[in-house]
Chain A
Amino acid sequence: MIGFVTSYIPLLLKGLAVLGFIALSAMFLIWLERKISAKIQNRLGPMMTGPHGAFQSVADTVKLLLKENIMPTGADTTIWWLAPFFVTVPAVVAFLCMPFGSHFIVHDLNVGILFICSITSISVIGVFMAGWGSNNKYSLLGGMRSAAQIVSYEVPLLLSVLVVIMESGTLSMQGIVRAQELGWFFLKPNVFIAFVIYLISATAETNRVPFDIPEAESELVAGYHTEYSGMKFAMFFVAEYTNLFIVSAVAATLFLGGWLGPFRPSMFWFLLKAYTIIAFLMWIRWTLPRVRMDQMMGFAWKFLVPVSLVNVLVTGWLLVVKG
């Protein structure tokens, strides 16, 4: 009995570490986003809570925790309650095989990248549930847009990931990082194209400008999470920023050499690369207008998918020629 319990203690600690990291990371990213947007827009951003508003996110969390939980009349209760969990849980689970450092990974699955891609795709169900369950037309439109968008952009995203898998010959995240010891993948022209496609698709996957169509503020108020308040809204918010971290971390791992760096600790390099990509995505968010639904779908299917398919073919050909 005791042996059974103790065997679970390390697992429990790992889980707590992941949860702690997610909470801290989301809070930090929200603060960072507000600071970056303020910098772009000639503002100061949060300044009152702590030095340069560093504790603003903490204050916001406390506020959201204390808020009343409002449920719209006519909402589909079960679906409405479950939706935030369907969005948040996959984001947490994806950290299972996130290679933070050379020995810093919860579990190095041999199908790691496949696991991350498939588990994060589940969140679209949560988004659609939120849109449907809220009994709000804006939410419904947002949910439908989101489903269409995420399904479309999953294709080029996976095709660009496929290029990296072909180059490295493994699905394990640590394996992919070790395969880049001779040179980061994005330095190769074909992988660089995949990198660009990945970033575009990842922007769409995380519903960020210029693809923030599901939550288009000027059209749909707040899209699928219009009716959510308090901690449920906070869960959507945390999931959004966690997903942002996941796509950036995966990009850093697949294309920028992950935790590889000239000196230790390896975790420093991983976080540096991930947060650089995040900062880049934030810069884009606060600069560009939003594209239209049909333009976005057309861009995915008529441009990104053919280009990434050709890219996969070219990569295969290059691998065969080089032997």
Chain B
Amino acid sequence: MDYEELIINMGPQHPSTHGVLYLELKLDGEIVVDCRPNIGYLHRSIEKIAENRTFVQFMPFTDRLDYLASMNNNLGFCLTMEKLLQIEAPARAQYLRVIMAELNRVASHLFAVSTFAQDLGAYATPLFYALRDREKIVQIFDQICGQRLTYNYMRIGGVSADIPVGVDQLIRDFIIYERQMMAEYDDLLTNNVIFRARSKMIGVLSKESAIDHGVTGPNLRASGFKWDLRKDEPYLMYDQFDFNVPVGKNGDSWDRYNVRMLEIMESLKIIEQALNGLPEGDPVAKINKAYRPTGEIYVRTENPRGELGFYVVGDGNPFPYRLKIRAPSFSNLSVLTSLIRGLNISDAVCVLGSLDVVMGEIDR
């Protein structure tokens, strides 16, 4: 029998392509034969902009990379510049950075798992539950730095402001609250028969394939490879905290979901320890802010979505000669085609949701 492949242009405006991702799907019936992700709809040439801004001025642009984890992006750039300029942030600043980065990781993972559930057809309810919890984090951030999405909180050599009186209690309340709420997510999603049937053994990413494609973060750990920069290349104070690195077994969509759920619990543990050990002192180092670095540096940090790397070349000018960003979502997206080939279109959406890509950092 004669048949043609059906080409579907999924995106850039589609309910489940997470922003402006455009997938060119070739379908045989409903089976995906081939898939080509087209990116670039959110390109803002952030790397080029960096060359025309001073290092301090570039900080707000890092917020706009992975807009769900602005704190972590700030942190990555700060650590890069501190290493290049050989500045040490005060201990209090380091603890505050850990707290903020982990709070943002919780917020980001909440968003990731709930949009994943949304992609599986759980109509908005998990999303609203996650937004309810994320709202508490966002309000904490709002009190700390006056912003709800693009925080611009961290500075080279510290953080922009100490936490206001009473906010540490808010964070403690949030930890208790969120631990209770995780049980709710377990009822709604983790132990849901349909949810399990939809995600188990769908889009199995092998350990080798993950490493070959440069997949990092929860997606890599879900494939069974224990690699977390917070443990393996500790920065800030991470080597002083007691936390586990959750690892998946099969590398399927379910594992990617579950690893994120477990990581939320681990992040809460870190926040608790950091709050208890928060030292007194200045939140920012007293340094000359007219930076004119020379030399090049690459520093990577563990973002909610994987390894975020900043490569900075300074030539003695107040702005970088070149700045390159290694975005985790970009590498994570590269496995999509091989994962969804041969799957049903429903499963393709499920795999895309479980990879949790953010277009802001793919296109930059």
Question: Across the interface, do B123 and A285 meet the contact criterion of CB distance under 8 Å?
Answer: yes
In the complex, identify which listed stretch (B42-50, B78-86, B209-217, B342-350) lies at the interface while the others stay far away.
B342-350
A289 CB contact (under 8 Å) in B16, B121, B132: B121
With a 10 A CB-CB cut-off, give which of A43, A209, A289 has the most chain B CB atoms.
Answer: A289
Q: With an 8 A cutoff between CB atoms, is B15 at the interface?
A: yes
In the complex, residue of chain A having the shortest beta-carbon distance to the beta carbon of B13: A221
A290 CB contact (under 8 Å) in B121, B128, B344, B345: B121
State the Cβ distance, A183 to closest chain B Cβ, in Å: 33
Q: With an 8 A cutoff between CB atoms, is A286 at the interface?
A: yes
**In the complex, chain A residues whose CB is within 8 Å of the CB of B346:** 213, 216, 219, 290, 292-293
Question: Across the interface, do A295 and B197 meet the contact criterion of CB distance under 8 Å?
Answer: yes
Q: How many A-B residue pairs have CB under 8 A?
A: 82
A-B contact pairs, 21 of them (CB 8 A): A37-B125, A41-B124, A41-B129, A42-B128, A42-B129, A43-B128, A138-B8, A209-B121, A217-B15, A218-B118, A219-B345, A221-B15, A287-B122, A288-B122, A288-B194, A289-B122, A289-B198, A290-B120, A291-B197, A292-B198, A295-B198
Q: With an 8 A cutoff between CB atoms, is B179 at the interface?
A: no
Q: With an 8 A cutoff between CB atoms, is B192 at the interface?
A: yes
Size of the chain A interface, CB-CB below 8 angstroms = 28
Given contacts A286-B125, A290-B120, A290-B121, 9 further A-B contacts (CB under 8 A): A37-B124, A212-B121, A216-B346, A218-B119, A219-B349, A288-B122, A288-B194, A291-B197, A292-B346
A212 to B122, CA, bound (A): 10
Q: With an 8 A cutoff between CB atoms, is B6 at the interface?
A: yes
Question: Across the interface, do A289 and B129 meet the contact criterion of CB distance under 8 Å?
Answer: no
Interface residues on B, range: 20 to 34
State the Cβ distance, A221 to closest chain B Cβ, in Å: 6
Question: Across the interface, do A137 and B197 meet the contact criterion of CB distance under 8 Å?
Answer: no
Question: Across the interface, do B344 and A293 meet the contact criterion of CB distance under 8 Å?
Answer: yes
Q: With an 8 A cutoff between CB atoms, is A310 at the interface?
A: no
A210 CB contact (under 8 Å) in B14, B189, B194: B194
Q: With an 8 A cutoff between CB atoms, is A234 at the interface?
A: no
Chain A positions within 8 Å of B, measured between CB atoms, are 37, 40-43, 137-138, 141, 209-210, 212-213, 216-219, 221, 285-295
**In the complex, chain A residues whose CB is within 8 Å of the CB of B353:** 218
**In the complex, chain B residues whose CB is within 8 Å of the CB of A288:** 122, 192, 194
Q: With an 8 A cutoff between CB atoms, is B243 at the interface?
A: no
A292 to B119, CA, bound (A): 12
State the Cβ distance, B304 to closest chain A Cβ, in Å: 22
A292 to B194, CA, bound (A): 9
With known contacts A42-B128, A218-B119, A289–B6 Cβ distance under 8 A: no
